[in-house]
Amino acid sequence: MKIATLSIGDELLLGEVVDTNAARVAARLADAGLAVGRHLTVGDDEREIAAAIELLARDHEAVIATGGLGPTDDDVTARATARATGRRLVLNEEAMAGLTAFFARRGREMHPANERQCLLPAKAGIVPNPTGTASGFHLVHEGCQFVFLPGVPAEMVRMLEESAVPLVLAQRKDRLRVRTKVLAVFGLSEAEIGARLTGIDRTRPGLTIAYCVEYPVVQVKLRAAGQSDGEIDTLLAEAIPLVRERLGDQIVAEDGDTIDTTVARLFRETGMTLALAESCTGGLVSKRITDVAGSSAYFLLGAVTYANGMKESLLGVPSHLLAEKGAVSAEVAKAMARGARRLAGSDLALAVTGIAGPEGGSSEKPVGTVFIALSDGSGCTVKVYHFSGQREQIRTITAVTAMDWLRRRLRTV
């Protein structure tokens, strides 16, 4: 099945906004066993949008487009589509009813400008928008199924899942079914993972393995295709144990979970409590913990002790350690962890201190030097890491490494 995506918006062409929608659409279609063969980006120009629609219709069976459905003058996608397909632009009563209900639920008065979002090509079907004002729409032109979605990512993603993908799948002529198993891997590079999994898919027709890097985690996607659920079950039943065996404890999450939600689940299951003391990460570990709802049940304290004085006065790090060993040292990391645990009365306390750069490094402790320490009832352990990359990369991999420390420790409870 030949599929294309179309992104609409001046902000995309000018580089003011990164086009995450196109990537999300392509990834979701790939999980459904549908590959995007072409992608176009055009600005908020009626003639350019119409030309793109005419071009893509000639050589594709389905197109998913995003952007240009808002209430302002530069939102011209509907008008351009009517122009390209030779249809009149009419007030869509279903879209108007949905828009009126949207404002009523929120107790707000609808601005007259919003009504233009209900002017759609004649006989177009509506793609409901549960979270925003812009209804999407769909129509068939020259045998090609077009689905138009708003550009707001949070709205687009839900509409893609609930409406757009089913509409595209309905156009599919074959009966091939596809199921994807996703494993999140941390601590191995994409190349290392690929080498470990060599041969698993080659000997199993219908199975493919794809990799997607979401730094510093690698998503390993096992896609099984078959004519029946039984064929797919057999492929995955053979492949998944082999993948788990070869990747071992580097698998940190599965099927939509993340390392953060995995850690949250383990805290709930074990009943353990946590305190954090952060320096170079500036609260990133605490953010990952508290981004998961319900973390107040186990997360007691997060202290960002950036200044040495705060490490000393709040966490009780001895001044002589700071003077003799430096803030970035195994001794200070352990003292921070012990101090946080003592202060919070928690079961576990984790501390991070390091040099994220771009300045502050030395020949003895270059940029990327990070110490992580974990204190519990049996003692305190510490390890030094030498990360590479820009400041934000170093901070990110430090935070994820800290989460992996918690994951591994909680699995021993």
Report the CATH number at residue 128.
Answer: 3.40.980.10
pLDDT at res. 172:
83
Q: pLDDT by residue (tens digit) across 24-57?
A: 999 999 888 888 999 999 999 999 999 999 999 9
Give yes or no: residues 234 and 317 share one domain.
no
pLDDT at res. 344:
98
- Structural domain range at position 199: 177-254
Query: Strand 177-186 and strand 251-254: pairing?
Result: antiparallel
Domain end position, chosen among 187, 221, 254? 254
* Mean pLDDT (whole number) for 184-213: 94
Q: pLDDT by residue (tens digit) across 317-364?
A: 999 999 999 999 999 999 999 999 999 999 999 999 999 999 999 999
Q: pLDDT by residue (tens digit) across 105-159?
A: 989 999 989 999 999 999 999 999 999 999 999 999 999 999 999 999 999 999 9
What is the tally of structural domains in the chain? 3
Give yes or no: residues 245 and 273 share one domain.
no
CB-CB contact of 357 with 320 (8 Å): no
Res 175 pLDDT > 80:
no
Give yes or no: residues 76 and 129 share one domain.
yes
pLDDT at res. 411:
97
Per cent of the chain over pLDDT 70 is 100
Contacts of 334 (CB under 8 A, 6+ apart): 351, 373, 375, 380, 382
Domain end position, chosen among 212, 233, 254? 254
Give yes or no: residues 288 and 396 share one domain.
yes
pLDDT at res. 90:
97
Give yes or no: residues 153 and 26 share one domain.
yes
pLDDT band at 203 (very low <50, low <70, confident <90, very high): confident
Res 378 pLDDT > 80:
yes
Give yes or no: residues 104 and 241 share one domain.
no
Give yes or no: residues 32 and 140 share one domain.
yes
Q: pLDDT by residue (tens digit) across 289-316?
A: 999 999 999 999 999 999 999 999 999 9
> 385: which 2 tokens?
């890491």
* Mean pLDDT (whole number) for 234-243: 96
Q: Indicate the SS3 state at residue 274.
A: strand
Closest C-alpha to 189, from 180, 200, 178, 197: 197
Give yes or no: residues 25 and 158 share one domain.
yes
CATH number of the CATH domain containing 207: 3.30.70.2860
- Compute, in degrees rounded to 10, the torsion defined by CA atoms 339, 342, 344, 345: 150
Please state, in angstroms and rounded to a whole number, the distance separating the CA atoms of residues 340 and 410.
18
Give yes or no: residues 267 and 349 share one domain.
yes
pLDDT at res. 129:
95
Residue with tokens 């390993």: 220
pTM for this model (two decimals): 0.83
- Give the chain's mean pLDDT: 96
CB-CB contact of 19 with 7 (8 Å): yes
Give yes or no: residues 233 and 84 share one domain.
no
pLDDT at res. 35:
87
Any idea what the Cα angle at residue 378 is, between residues 372 and 384, rounded to 5°?
15
pLDDT at res. 173:
76
Give yes or no: residues 140 and 231 share one domain.
no
The count of other CB atoms within 10 Å of the CB of residue 363 is 5
Res 400 pLDDT > 80:
yes
Give yes or no: residues 308 and 283 share one domain.
yes
* Mean pLDDT (whole number) for 197-203: 92
CATH number of the CATH domain containing 402: 3.90.950.20
Domain end position, chosen among 235, 254, 273? 254
